[in-house]
Amino acid sequence: MREGTQAMWRRRWLQWALTFLGWTCIALFFASQTYLSYKYSGGEAHWRIVLEINLCQWYVWGLLAPGIIWLARRFPLERRRLASSLGIHLAAGVGVALVKWQLDNLLRHYVLGFERSTSLILVFHQSLVTYWLLVGATQAYLYYQRYRQGELRAAQLGTQLAQAQLQALRMQLHPHFLFNTLNAISTLVHNDPEAADRMIARLSELLRLTLENVGVQEVPLAQELEFLERYLEIERTRFADRLIVRMEIAAEALDALTPYLILQPLVENAIRHGIAARSLAGCIVVSARRDGRMLVLEVRDDGPGMACGEGASKDGVGISSTRARLEKLYGSAQRFELRNAERGGVVATLAFPFRVSASSPSSEEGEVR
C-alpha cells in the first residue's frame, strides 16, 4: 500500500516537473522571438527583461491551463451539442482573456516592478488564440484517445471471436470422435466383451484428458502424443495385430507447442482409409521434427492411397477442422498437405511456427522460437 502511494506521488511529481519544463520552453521560445524582433528593428533589447516578462506571462498560462482543459473536456465540441459548447467556450475565452490580462499586470507591478500596465487591446486577441489552441489540443487528444480505445475494443472483439471460432472447431472433434468410438464398442460388446470393457476404460481416460484441457488451444507435443497414445490403445483393441504404429519423434520437438487434438483426426483418417479398408496388417508412422523455424508433423500410412482427385473428398469433419484450426491459429504461416506417398499410402503433412512454452526448460536456451 505504502509503495503504491509513493509510486503515485513520484508519477505526479514527474508530471508537474514536465509541465513546468514545457511552459518554460514555450516562454524561452517567445522570449527569443521578442528579443530578436526588438534587436533587428533598431530598438533597444534587454534580454533579462524580455525573459522575465515572457516567463511571467507563460507561467500564468500554466496556472490557467488546467481549468481550460477541464472546460474542454466538460463541454467537448461534438455535433450533438456543438452550439451550446461553442457558446460556453466563447464566453469562457473572453473571461480567461480578461483574467489573464489582470494577472499579467499584477505580476508586472508586484513581481517585476514595472509601473506601467499592459493595455488590454495589445494582449486580448493573443489570449483568445491561446485559449482556443488549448481547447483544440484537448479536443484532438480526446479524439485520439477515443480512436485508440475503439482500436483496442475492435482488437479484443476480434480476439474473442477468433477464440470462439477455434473452440467451436475443436469441439466439433469431440462428438465426432466419441460417436466413432462408441460405434466400435457396440460392435465388440457381444463378440468380445473384455475388449469392449478395455475400450470403455480407455475412452474414460481420453474424456478425462479432454476435460482437463477445456479452452486450451496449444499444448506441448509430448502432451499431444500422450493423448494420441490413449486413442491408439482403443484402436489396437479394435484391430489387434492389423494395426502397427511407429513413432519417429525428434527430442527437440517434444516441448514444441502444438494445437491440441491436432494429430488424432489425422491418425483416425489414416486408420479408416489405410487400415480398416483391407484385411492385411498396415503400418502408420507419426513423425515430428524441427525444420528451421517450423515444426513439421507427418502421419503416413501404407494403404492403397487416394484415387486421382480424391483429396478433397476425404476432407471429413476431422480433416476440415484441422485445416480451419491451423488457418485460425497461424494464418499464412502454416501449411497442410494431404497427398499420395511415392511408395503407396497417404501422407498428411502439417507445418507451423516452432515455439515452446515459457515454462519449458528448452525455452531458456536462448534460441529464437
Distance CA 136, CA 285 (A): 68
Percent of the chain with pLDDT over 90: 19
| Structure confidence by residue, pLDDT tens digits, 116-174 | 888 888 888 888 899 999 999 999 988 888 888 877 776 765 665 555 555 544 555 45
Instruction: Indicate the pLDDT class of residue 176, thresholds 50, 70 and 90.
Output: low
Distance CA 293, CA 367 (A): 10
| Structure confidence by residue, pLDDT tens digits, 283-307 | 999 999 999 999 999 999 988 888 7
- Output b/e per residue, 104-130; b: 16+ Cβ within 10 A: bbebbeeeeeeeeeeeeeebeeebbeb
β partners of residue 246: 285
> Is there a contact between 157 and 138 (Cβ–Cβ < 8 Å)?
no
Nearest CA to 328 out of 214, 218, 163 is that of 163
Q: How far is CA 120 from the centre of its chain?
A: 55
> Is there a contact between 351 and 294 (Cβ–Cβ < 8 Å)?
yes
Most confidently predicted of 29-38, 62-71, 149-158, 347-356 = 347-356
- Write down the pLDDT at residue 244: 92
Instruction: Label residue 95 exposed, middle or buried (CB < 10 Å: 0-12, 13-18, 19+).
Output: exposed
Average the pLDDT over 169-184 and give the result.
64
Nearest CA to 239 out of 178, 190, 184, 186 is that of 184
What's this model's pTM, rounded to 2 decimal places? 0.53
Domain ranges of the chain: 20-153, 166-365
- Write down the pLDDT at residue 47: 79
**Backbone phi, then psi, for 332, in 5-degree steps?**
-85, -5
* Dihedral of alpha carbons 164, 170, 172, 175, sign: negative
* CATH number attached to the domain at 166-365: 3.30.565.10
| Structure confidence by residue, pLDDT tens digits, 82-91 | 888 888 999 9
> Is there a contact between 238 and 200 (Cβ–Cβ < 8 Å)?
no
Residue with cell 507427418: 298
Range name among 2-16, 45-59, 222-236, 293-307 with the lowest pLDDT average: 2-16
Residues 6+ apart with CB under 8 A from 160: none
Q: Is the pLDDT score of 58 beyond 70? A: yes
CA atoms within 13 A on the CB side of 122: 7
> Is there a contact between 354 and 290 (Cβ–Cβ < 8 Å)?
yes
Total count of residues recorded for the chain: 369
- Write down the pLDDT at residue 252: 93
Distance CA 317, CA 168 (A): 12
DSSP label at residue 273: I
Q: Which helix (H) or strand (E) holds 7?
A: helix 2-40
Of the chain, the end-to-end C-alpha distance in Å amounts to 39
Cα-based distances in Å from 36 to 32, 48, 212: 6, 13, 76
